Every structure is written in structure tokens, then in C-alpha cells.
Amino acid sequence: MSASAPQSADAAPAAGRAPAHVAIIMDGNGRWAHARGLSRSEGHREGLKATRRAVEFFANRGVRALTLFAFSSENWQRPQSEVDALFDLFVTAIEAELPELSEKGIRLRFIGERADFPQPLQQRMAEAEAATAENEVMTLVVALGYGGRWDILQAAQRWLRDSPGDAPDPERFEDYLSTAGLPPVDMLIRTGGEQRISNFLLWQSAYAELVFLDALWPDVTEQELSGTLETYLKRQRRFGRTPHQAEAGNA
Ligand code: FPP
């Protein structure tokens, strides 16, 4: 991450237009590696470079929150060697990227069930969250051991513990989701040519604009990321209203 984050509001896109929260399903590392006769782990390492490009790109465009799907609840089913290599990569990446993320004012937050992760990884995650807690330029949310259904269920369980007998209302319920305090997802990008949500931010993406890219994650360029923003800006967001109402509301 070499370019610096916006230092003033002037550098950010017009208020109300740019997505406040972008989420990405970073798919295609394995296929990228396979096409080159490399191991899947080498694909993930190359994927990390694309991750850096995406963090830098969206931080520089005034996006307030970027959530990346790095390890799903279902990814535990992968071969143990791949799971171990991914955990090693996460530890190395947190250590290597932390100074620059701090310098750029990026706050790191991890969502998902982390109890079964190796201790060194849990420790790095907690340290990185504490070290960047006061940063305000952008929140980088890394979903590890995450599933949208898990998130809704853990929120429901905590709600019942705190307010037994109270019927949940959507606004207060959101405070129990792992993404509490973040805006809803405005744009959900998936790379790698598949067109599904795969149990990512199910509640939070209720009104997200979906953008699918054929490029495999390690191949995603700044130009393609730019294209996702252009696509987003051309969409009319109606939130259940008529096109006419939405136009009047957006004016
Ligand atoms: C999905 O591609 C990718 C993953 C499960 C891992 C994603 C991890 C990274 C990009 C590293 C980022 C690191 C941090 C710290 C955020 P796949 O393996 O399912 O690819 P395939 O569909 O081609 O098999």
C-alpha cells in the first residue's frame, strides 16, 4: 500500500454517492494457482497482493468500511494443509501490514468465530484490533471463521440473553450483529465468475448492489475496481420505492 489515504474531505467522492460500505468475496485464488501449476497456497499468497490493492483503492476513495471474506465457516472443510497455510498467511499478513495500516489511519476489525483458531493467530488479531482502534480513515473488516447465518444466530442468542421477552426490532437487533456500528453494505463484489453470496453478510447485504467480476481475485486490477464503482454509480437504488420516488429521494 504505497499511495496515501485522503487527508481531507476534498479527496473523497460526493457525499451520498460513493458507497459507504463495500464488501468483497475474494474468489479465484485456487484456480489462478491451478492454471499456473502452483499450489493453492501460492494462489492465496498472490491473492494477498490483490487484497493490498483493494484496501488502498477503496481507502483512497472515501469508503468508510471495507469488509473482506477471507475464511468462511465452511472453509474449515478444506484440506488441513490448505487451512494451516491460510492461518500462517493471516498471521504473516497481519504482522507485515499493521505498520502501514496504522500509518494510513485504517482501523482493523475481525468478525467471525475465532475461538478455534490457533492461539498465535487469535493473539495477532486481538493486538491488531487494539493497536488500530482509534483510527478513523476507514474500517477494514476481515471476516474469518465467518458465516452470515452464524452472525444472525449469535446476535439472536445475545439478544435473548440481554432482553428476554422483548420482540426484536431491526435497528436494535443490528447492534448485536458482528458488524455493529458499521453502515449497511452498499456494494457487494464477488470475483472469480461465480454469482452467489455464499453465506456472506446476509442481513447486512439486504439492499446491497451486487457486482460480479469474471477476473480471478489475484488478477483483479485497480482498473477493474474502478469499474465496480462506475457500475455502482449507474445503479438506481430504490429500497422498495418506485423509480420516480427513488429519483426524487436521491435528488
Ligand atoms: C477464495 O478463493 C479465497 C480464500 C478462501 C482465501 C482468501 C484469502 C486471501 C485473499 C488472503 C487475504 C488475507 C488477508 C489477511 C485478508 P478459492 O480458494 O475458493 O479459489 P477457487 O474458487 O479458485 O478455488
Domain span at residue 227 reads 21-250
Q: Please state, in angstroms and rounded to a whole number, the distance separating the CA atoms of residues 59 and 137.
A: 7
Give per-residue pLDDT as tens, 196-220: 999 999 999 999 999 999 999 999 9
Q: Is the CB of 41 under 6 A from ligand 1?
A: no
Number of structural domains found in the chain: 1
143 in any annotated domain? yes
Give per-residue pLDDT as tens, 145-156: 999 999 999 999
Q: For residue 10, give the amino acid letter.
A: D
- Which residue from 26, 53, 86 has its CB within 8 A of the most atoms of ligand 1, so it is best to mutate? 26
pTM: 0.92
Q: What is the pLDDT of residue 3?
A: 34
CATH number at residue 59: 3.40.1180.10
74 in any annotated domain? yes
- Which residue from 25, 29, 124 has its CB within 8 A of the most atoms of ligand 1, so it is best to mutate? 29
Q: Residue 162, exposed/middle/buried by CB under 10 A (0-12, 13-18, 19+)? A: exposed
14 in any annotated domain? no
Set of cell numbers at residue 32: 489462478
Within 8 A by CB and 6+ apart from 220, the residues are 50, 53, 54, 191, 213
Give per-residue pLDDT as tens, 65-113: 999 999 999 999 999 999 999 999 999 999 999 999 999 999 999 999 9
| Spatial contact of 207 and 238, defined as CB atoms under 8 Å apart | no
Give per-residue pLDDT as tens, 1-26: 333 333 333 333 434 588 999 999 99
- The counts of H helices and E strands in the chain are 8, 6
